[in-house]
Structure 1
């Protein structure tokens, strides 16, 4: 992801969580649940309960900074779980003012009334997006999904940025600490979720953007075997490529170690006798200021032996049913941000714009021919190039690779009037850009988006599909339009219909031949 792309992603996230939250329903009574470590007290709402800020691992501080996550120590008494805990360290953005608190390995549970050990519900574990540098599980209000879908939803914090993905020779877990945190949360779910009314034998791992790429990584990780039973991947195709500038795909360990060496030098630890001991003494704000804009997990590691794209292409992944998809106009948000930043896309500037993102002269010329810019359509054309190359066509490719081995259902979110994710007026209509499906599933930042009656119906249908998939591994049901496995289900307020034209519409034959 480019600097501008990452900044835009953070801005989108900021708009969700800085919006004033609605007043929660008055709690009927506090709710106390026993975990293996101790008692936690949550909050009862109308139709559901929430348990927020539950520690699933020890604070990764001191000697545990850049160490694999450890199960938390038992506690006495009752721990408060009525409000979110700190987000993991990150620059200002989704978290107002950012965060510097390393004691962040917490999760949140939303469980519908009626769920209990005697009547367990399917579990959806949600991994947030944010380019592996921002985000928090608490930004995703899950009560609509929990109550309408009758499922237990768990949202997770995991280490981000250099604290989550630093690599250094001789450091166990190099480049994958954030992924290891996700696995620790899944192990917590297998052990503890029964006490909250969830079925530990029916766990769906789901995520969007970097969270979707994380799901891909966990599909390819042998260490994740047995931790989840289905997968939902939103706008994070497993076959994304590191030479594409807007997708946070994984990188080789050698490249991650080089980035780690650069960071150590920036903070004055490059020539220290014990580099890691020196780095563990550096305060969080200094680390955040020195880390690169782009962060990716590293492969050629014990947790991730190979590139997830190569592993899935070779059929080396966990055999679970998958629901996967993308948005119709994935790239428009980034294109709008770049245009707004003073880089207009016109017929005259278009070749240079393409060349800045696709440095191969032959590729750049081919893209300009395939996607001509006329006088007034430069921004959306740029958005189509970003979306088609980074998301739409890689999703088509991933679908085909997965479907050779497991049941796969693919969607395309296509509400061209989706609620805006920022308060800024874009330079052109954005359609259904990256992340625009999320307000249909979650109350982002503590409040619902403003939806029309038709959009509310679409949101209900999407929650129905997602939660039926979590329950039975098949999203179809008697109250929704049929979703065939061999097609793409187009999701829009005016229609929910299968389509076979997605590959043609997104120029996938061109991107396949471009290489």
Structure 2
């Protein structure tokens, strides 16, 4: 069990931690605090920093600190301040555990801050307000921070105003208990508070509060999915981008470790509430009433344990925020009518599998077939093994990672795309650069090159890793697609191949890779054997 918990923690936290380190290694130059640009917000004025072609305003509070009596309450408005508040450095990150080695919790409960990166000069050359892109970070809902991502490329080349957001994590963000009336999904409530802040203040930064795009990767993408299907988020955004975290994402049971069950990021509220009652009792707060008062008196360190941060890292549905499981809501057409762009990387699961091969190797075809039966059962294993034979791949590990990627990420995303496209313009991509920079620092594992692994598209949108010439050209085009979609609802970029809507052609998924013909449409359902997964794993990739 300990190994499983450590693995889950490493997989969920790896990318955010690397981003934190990269962000700390090369911060942009900051001019003297009293010379930066000043913008008025609804709570007071802030002074940012100028960086030539763009400006930054960091550490702006968008809600009151959720501390003391406000722990496990919906976010309240930030206090007003007098004078000009310095916005030259990020605010505190939300409470989380260090990842690279054991240690005390880091961060603070006073963490509801956001950061704004905007092109210099305010409005565009024609005097028009710019699109706003609001980024929700990944990290398994129990790690990460908005300031880990540097969106200067999106601002300078794409002409967008980008807002990166902190939100409560783990037991502080997704706790449930009968005295709370359920599990109110405070992490999502924090994100909504940030969107309300954007609506109230975007124009002061040269942006259009009526043209907001929410986007995120991994847990951030799951957040976007939740807002798409949440009645509480109505009217707060006009477009959505989902990166490697569709509403239907899952992983087969025992596919990475023998004792690791199925991963599903959305769970019934009653499950979270039951877990909350048990957790409160273990913490010594089991009296008939006043449990929350007891828990609120505890130091954050008593709550930010590995067990509690992981246990409360799943989003609850069956409440006012999410009445339905999001994938069911999509199938039923119960989501906000906004254009959606979504996709995944070609080799998503290689990042996760690489971390378990030493403990749970796939050395030969016999081990591969044993895994098939363990995860899918004997009947489905025969069908899956016939479609993904070891002989068709360099190693058994590559074969296993490929089928897991198709079953867990790509085919569920395409299934969501079908549901979305019945009602709204939908555009789908696959990031396919198998030479993308390994910015994680994870060493290559023999027999399993990382390729286009989970999160490896991020350096093409944010400043975090060196790119080759062809990769930089791809990054420029991706920046154009992303910001073009934010501007108009259509991912069109000057000089880049056209991107067809879902359903407009048999091959409507845009494959993104460097080179002259690297950007092209593909029949992703056929390439990733989605008909097989619809038949052999219903309830995950179909609505059955």
Structure 1 length as normaliser, TM-score? Answer: 0.93
Aligned partner (choices 280, 283, 291) of residue 267 of structure 1: 283
Residue of structure 1 equivalent to 2:26 = 22
Aligned partner (choices 298, 307, 329) of residue 347 of structure 2: 329
Q: Secondary structure at the match of 2:441?
A: coil
Quickly say closer, same or farther: Cα 1:33–1:421, change in 2 above 3 A.
same
Q: Which moved more, 1:476-485 or 1:321-330?
A: 476-485
Deviation at 1:198, TM superposition (A): 1.1
Aligned partner (choices 377, 383, 389) of residue 372 of structure 1: 389
Question: Number of residues paired by the alignment?
Answer: 509
Q: Is the CA contact (8 Å cut-off) linking 1:52 and 1:83 kept in structure 2?
A: yes
Deviation at 1:142, TM superposition (A): 0.8
**Deviation digits for residues 297-342 of structure 1 (CA, Å, limit 9, x no counterpart):** 1011111111111111000100000111110111111111111445
Aligned partner (choices 168, 175, 178) of residue 159 of structure 1: 168
**Deviation digits for residues 121-153 of structure 1 (CA, Å, limit 9, x no counterpart):** 100000111111111000000111111001100
Looking at structure 2, the residues matched to 270 and 344 of structure 1 have their Cα atoms a distance apart, in angstroms, of: 46
Looking at structure 2, the residues matched to 94 and 136 of structure 1 have their Cα atoms a distance apart, in angstroms, of: 16
Q: Secondary structure at the match of 2:178?
A: coil
Q: Secondary structure at the match of 2:60?
A: strand
Looking at structure 2, the residues matched to 224 and 386 of structure 1 have their Cα atoms a distance apart, in angstroms, of: 32
Deviation at 1:94, TM superposition (A): 8.9
State yes or no: 1:101 paired with 2:108.
Answer: yes
Give the 5 Å matches for 1:224-303. Answer: 224-241=233-250, 249-271=265-287, 273-289=289-305, 290-291=307-308, 293=310, 295-303=313-321
Q: Is the CA contact (8 Å cut-off) linking 1:210 and 1:248 kept in structure 2?
A: no
Quickly say closer, same or farther: Cα 1:160–1:246, change in 2 above 3 A.
farther
Looking at structure 2, the residues matched to 341 and 421 of structure 1 have their Cα atoms a distance apart, in angstroms, of: 24
**Deviation digits for residues 337-391 of structure 1 (CA, Å, limit 9, x no counterpart):** 11144534532323443455x3655445544444334596122122113211111
Residue of structure 2 equivalent to 1:12 = 15
**Deviation digits for residues 172-205 of structure 1 (CA, Å, limit 9, x no counterpart):** 5624110111111000000011111111010001
Looking at structure 2, the residues matched to 241 and 310 of structure 1 have their Cα atoms a distance apart, in angstroms, of: 14
Q: Is the CA contact (8 Å cut-off) linking 1:13 and 1:93 kept in structure 2?
A: no
Residue of structure 2 equivalent to 1:47 = 53
Looking at structure 1, the residues matched to 422 and 281 of structure 2 have their Cα atoms a distance apart, in angstroms, of: 46
Aligned partner (choices 413, 417, 420) of residue 435 of structure 2: 417
Structure 2 length as normaliser, TM-score? Answer: 0.88
State yes or no: 1:438 paired with 2:454.
Answer: no
Quickly say closer, same or farther: Cα 1:431–1:98, change in 2 above 3 A.
farther
Q: Which moved more, 1:307-316 or 1:278-287?
A: 278-287
Q: Which moved more, 1:333-342 or 1:452-461?
A: 333-342
Q: Is the CA contact (8 Å cut-off) linking 1:418 and 1:431 kept in structure 2?
A: yes
Residue of structure 1 equivalent to 2:79 = 73
Give the 5 Å matches for 1:315-464. Answer: 315-354=333-372, 358=375, 360-364=377-381, 366-373=383-390, 377-427=395-445, 428-443=448-463, 448-464=464-480
Q: Which moved more, 1:431-440 or 1:289-298?
A: 289-298
Cα RMSD between the aligned structures?
A: 2.3
